[in-house]
Each structure stands twice: as C-alpha cells, then as structure tokens.
Amino acid sequence: MTSRPPRWVGVTGLVIGLGLASAPALFQMYDRAPAGGDMMVEFEPYMTQQKVDTFNGYMDTIGAAVAEIGTLRQEMVADGTLTAEQFDTQYSIAMQLANQWSAIDEDMGDLLARMDRNLDNYDAVNSLPSFDLFPFFFVIPGGLMAMAGFWLLLPKRGGKGAATWALLLLGIGMVLAPVAFQMFTRAPKGAEMIDDFRPMMTV
C-alpha cells in the first residue's frame, strides 16, 4: 500500500494553484496583456533600423530646406527685392515652418533617438509568445495545481501518487517556462522600452 503524501503538500498545491489562477484577474491581465500586444503590433512597422534611418533622412531634408528659407530671406532683404515684412507675408507658410521648426526638430529628434535605442528591446519583447496568451500561462497551470492539491486533501481517494507527481511536474514547468521563453532577459527589456517611451505617451 502506498503511503499518503503529507497534508501540507495538498494545501500548498491548492493555495499556490488558486493564487496563480486568480493572478490575471487581480492584475487585470485579461485587458492589459492584449492591449500590450496591440501596441506591439502598431509599433512594428516603425521599429526597424531602415524606418528610423528613413525618418532621420526626412528630418535632415526638411532641416536643410528651413535653413535655405532663412538664407533666401536674408539675400532678398539684402538686395532690396523684398522687405523682411513683405517676405514674411508673401511666404507666410514657409515662415511658419521656419519659426516652428526648432521645436518640431527637437521633439521628432527625441522620438527618433528613443526609437533607435530601443530597437533591440522591441525585438526581444516581440519574440515572446502572444500577449493574448499571457493570462492563461497562469490560469491553466494554476487551475491544474489547485485541482491536484484539492484531490490530495480528499480522504480515501485513489490516485494520490499521480496527483503528487502532477504537482511536482507543474511546479517544475512553472519554473522552467520563463527560462525557456528567455523572460528573465526579455521582460526587463520591455519595461526599459516602456519607461523610455512613457514621456512621449501623453495626451
């Protein structure tokens, strides 16, 4: 006759299992995880070195055009073609761009710099499993652990050995899963990326 596992094994499995299964609801993962996945999808077309370089090229081209506006204004005023006021009126749209360019260039330059330094971070996070599945990485093993722990607590029931092994294997799986998905290195990169973009994500 096989010996009955200690009661604490069942209690531990039940408590940990219920905690894992309820964690997604407590941390609002059913809403937040898919939202994170949507954000990654929306970022994907822009988070490439080619795209960042292209945008930087656009900024350089516009910056050169703005500098040319200033040079042209000085030359036309100097040779008496137009007064400064006449130039500003006749080329009002160009002057609006020239006057606002410094702030635009600073903001866009900052954004592009953040994008550039987070390309590797984005790739690391984007390599993780689908964000939609994250809650179920807790719910499914947690539910199974809770059921195994509950089964061990029932009196005069068979299958105690199988339930004990199930708890052990589920526990090992929960420990190894983050290693298998490289979450210990990829998840912090995601947090670093979000922190870097946070100042830009304001209404």
Contact 10, 149 (CB under 8 A): yes
pLDDT at 30 over 60: yes
pLDDT digits (tens, 9 = 90+) for 38-63: 999 999 999 999 999 999 999 999 99
Contact 200, 115 (CB under 8 A): no
Task: Give just the sign of the alpha carbon dihedral 150, 153, 154, 159.
Answer: positive
Query: How far are the Cα atoms of 47, 66, 86, 137, 197 from residue 80, in angstroms, in the given order?
Result: 49, 21, 11, 74, 48
Instruction: Tell me the C-alpha distance between 144 and 32, whole Å.
Output: 24
pLDDT digits (tens, 9 = 90+) for 148-161: 999 999 887 778 88
pLDDT digits (tens, 9 = 90+) for 160-176: 889 999 999 999 999 99
**Residue 144 in 3-state DSSP?**
helix
CB atoms within 10 A of CB 61: 10
pTM exceeding the 0.75 threshold for the entire prediction:
yes
pLDDT at 4 over 80: no
Domain boundaries, the chain: 6-47+129-203, 49-117
Tokens 């407590």 belong to residue: 26
pLDDT at 129 over 60: yes
